[in-house]
Amino acid sequence: MAMAAAETLGQRGACCACGAAARTAESGGREIIAYHHSSTVSARLVSRTAEDLASGRRGRGRLRRTWWLESARRSNDFPSSSNYVISGHDRLAFSSCSSTTSPSPSFLIASASASASASASASVAAAAAAAADGAGAGDTAVATPPPPSPESGGDSAGGGEHAQLMDESHTLTLDGIRNTLIRLEDSIIFHLIERAQYKWNLPTYDARMISVPPHNVSLLAFLLRETERLHSNVRRYTSPDEHPFFPDAIERPLLPPLLYPKVLCAGSCGVNVNPAIWKMYIEWLVPQLTEEGDDKNYGSAATCDVLCLQALSRRIHYGKFVAEAKYRQAMEEYDRLIYNKDREGIMKKLTVKAVEDAVVRRVELKARTFGQDIFESGVAAACDSEEPRKIDPKIVARLYQDGIMPLTKEVEVEYLLRRLDFPRTP
Ligand SMILES: C=C(O[C@@H]1C=C(C(=O)O)C=C[C@H]1O)C(=O)O
């Protein structure tokens, strides 16, 4: 079927997945990204200007149309000049590969010329990311503007070469990612212990009690926003595991861009559950964690809050890497669930109850251990004693059980639902 549609377009190209012959049509400033992908084949048309394509610059790509070949076959709705008017500025690529067992997720890009393929790959991924933003997101998953693109690095102050980080995408393993999550537990618990030394200090969170100009927001919102703005200057939010709470505050980095290995699919930057993390933290966690009342240490409390929120966000959005690793282990099955938009089925498939139980047991023990005093004699209170701790271990266990893990899984699901629309950049 793919071949038939490709022949309708009547042009030539090559499938980067398996080297099979492919068909493309090209004539200018728009492009269709086509890819075959395990059991599904799809084609996407993303509009970009001819100038953007020619310069390899990231344009404001706009998703025009997606064809799913499996459903297209049923409805006779093939991407052809009869159901989409291919203008003089359209470029189309369409994989003719009929394989249903591609070795890895991949896609085919119609580049302006064969020699431009490398930069075109990057810019098409950027266009796809931009299209993801335009598509919007669900209740908890809020679209974040993609970080300033490495391709546009010439504008950064400081100049210099793009630094290419080691490409470790091929070593992405679930065990490796789980180890990172375990290490992040330590950071979260230590930050919570720091915050717990101050009282609740409600005025820190209520703009009616302390309102900071110019946006007249709460003290915490002000401090976090300004922290993010400052950190964006040193390219914090160009890292795929960092997500801002205030995307509108992000500025262009002063440092030249780092080129991160492309591990996640291009649409992943559209998944940002920080609004839900913020709500959970302020409305549930802080009141549980702290002693009720007001000790006037609003600035100190807010400083701790910033570190807690950033650590929570990092851990929860690591779900994208978890999802990618899980996807690579069972592509065919996930493809089917994603294709059917089976949110519940995806959630069921990625949930590992035994791992979750172990996480809850471990974080409770860590909180019990880290939250005790070490005496000069070097003898700490016995781990299982009921000596008061700097933090209630049961609250940390509940935080993971009812907050962190459900949100991590929400990120995993949202990421996977975008996984076929935006394949991993090769
Ligand atoms: C993160 C994973 O995915 C899910 C989420 C978990 C978590 O947030 O800790 C634990 C197990 C899974 O249900 C994983 O499998 O490790």
Q: For 424, phi and psi rounded to 5 degrees? A: -60, 140
Mutational pocket test of ligand 1: of 179, 362, 405, 414, the residue with most ligand atoms within 8 Å of the beta carbon:
405
Sheet-wide strand order for 30-37: 62-68, 40-47, 30-37, 108-109
Same domain, 331 and 243: yes
Residue 95 maps to a domain: yes
Query: How close is the Cα of 113 to the center of ligand 1, in Å?
Result: 43
Same domain, 181 and 104: no
Pairwise CA distance, residues 383 & 367, whole Å = 10
Q: 96 and 84 in contact (C-beta within 8 Å)?
A: no
- Within 13 Å and on the Cβ side, how many CA atoms surround 243? 28
- Within 13 Å and on the Cβ side, how many CA atoms surround 302? 20
Mutational pocket test of ligand 1: of 329, 356, 410, 411, the residue with most ligand atoms within 8 Å of the beta carbon:
356
pLDDT value at residue 303: 98
Q: 396 and 389 in contact (C-beta within 8 Å)?
A: no
Pairwise CA distance, residues 108 & 261, whole Å = 19
pLDDT value at 402 more than 60: yes
pLDDT value at residue 304: 98
Joined together, the tokens standing for residue 262 give 């492309």
Query: How close is the Cα of 139 to the center of ligand 1, in Å?
Result: 21
Same domain, 321 and 251: yes
User: Residue 353, class by beta-carbon neighbours within 10 Å (0-12 exposed, 13-18 middle, 19+ buried)?
Assistant: exposed
pLDDT value at 241 more than 60: yes
pLDDT value at residue 386: 66
Average pLDDT over residues 239-260: 94
Q: Is the CB of 359 under 6 A from ligand 1?
A: yes
Pairwise CA distance, residues 107 & 94, whole Å = 10
Q: For 3, phi and psi rounded to 5 degrees? A: -60, -40
Same domain, 49 and 196: no
Q: 291 and 199 in contact (C-beta within 8 Å)?
A: yes
pLDDT value at residue 168: 61
Q: Is the CB of 179 under 6 A from ligand 1?
A: no
pLDDT value at residue 422: 75
pLDDT value at residue 215: 92
What are the pLDDT digits (tens) for 40-89? 344 444 444 445 545 554 444 444 444 444 444 444 444 443 233 333 22
pLDDT value at residue 170: 56
- Final residue of a domain: which of 135, 158, 182? 135
β-pairing verdict for 163-164 and 258-259: parallel
Same domain, 238 and 295: yes
- Final residue of a domain: which of 135, 157, 191? 135
Closest to 195 (Cα-Cα) out of 299, 42, 110: 299
Residue 163 maps to a domain: no
- Identify any residues that bridge with 258 across adjacent strands, giving them in sequence order: 163
Pairwise CA distance, residues 89 & 50, whole Å = 7
Mutational pocket test of ligand 1: of 322, 346, 411, the residue with most ligand atoms within 8 Å of the beta carbon:
322
Output the DSSP codes for 292-360. Answer: SS--S-HHHHHHHHHHHHHHHHHHHHTHHHHHHHHHHHSHHHHHHHHHTT-HHHHHHHH--HHHHHHHH
SS3 379: coil
Q: 186 and 366 in contact (C-beta within 8 Å)?
A: yes
Pairwise CA distance, residues 378 & 383, whole Å = 14
pLDDT band at 263 (very low <50, low <70, confident <90, very high): very high
Pairwise CA distance, residues 339 & 335, whole Å = 6
Give the position of tokens 């702290």: 290
Q: Is the CB of 390 under 6 A from ligand 1?
A: no
- Domain residues for the domain of 261 are 169-417
The domain tally of the chain equals 2
Same domain, 88 and 197: no
Interface pTM, i.e. ipTM:
0.98
Same domain, 221 and 351: yes
Residue 73 maps to a domain: yes
Give the position of tokens 């035994």: 354
Residue 152 maps to a domain: no
Closest to 106 (Cα-Cα) out of 336, 422, 417: 422
- Final residue of a domain: which of 135, 156, 178? 135
Residue 153 maps to a domain: no
Residue 145 maps to a domain: no
Same domain, 324 and 207: yes
Joined together, the tokens standing for residue 208 give 């009616």
Same domain, 115 and 191: no
Mutational pocket test of ligand 1: of 277, 352, 415, the residue with most ligand atoms within 8 Å of the beta carbon:
352
Q: Is the CB of 317 under 6 A from ligand 1?
A: no
Q: Which atom of ligand 1 is nearest to the CA of 353?
A: 13
pLDDT value at 403 more than 80: yes
Same domain, 250 and 333: yes
Which CATH number covers residue 379?
A: 1.10.590.10
Same domain, 345 and 223: yes
What are the pLDDT digits (tens) for 141-190? 544 444 433 333 333 444 445 666 666 655 689 999 999 999 999 999 99
Residue 84 maps to a domain: yes
Sign for the CA dihedral angle at 258, 264, 267, 273 comes to negative
Q: Which atom of ligand 1 is nearest to the CA of 405?
A: 8
Residue 408 maps to a domain: yes
Pairwise CA distance, residues 243 & 233, whole Å = 14
Same domain, 129 and 178: no
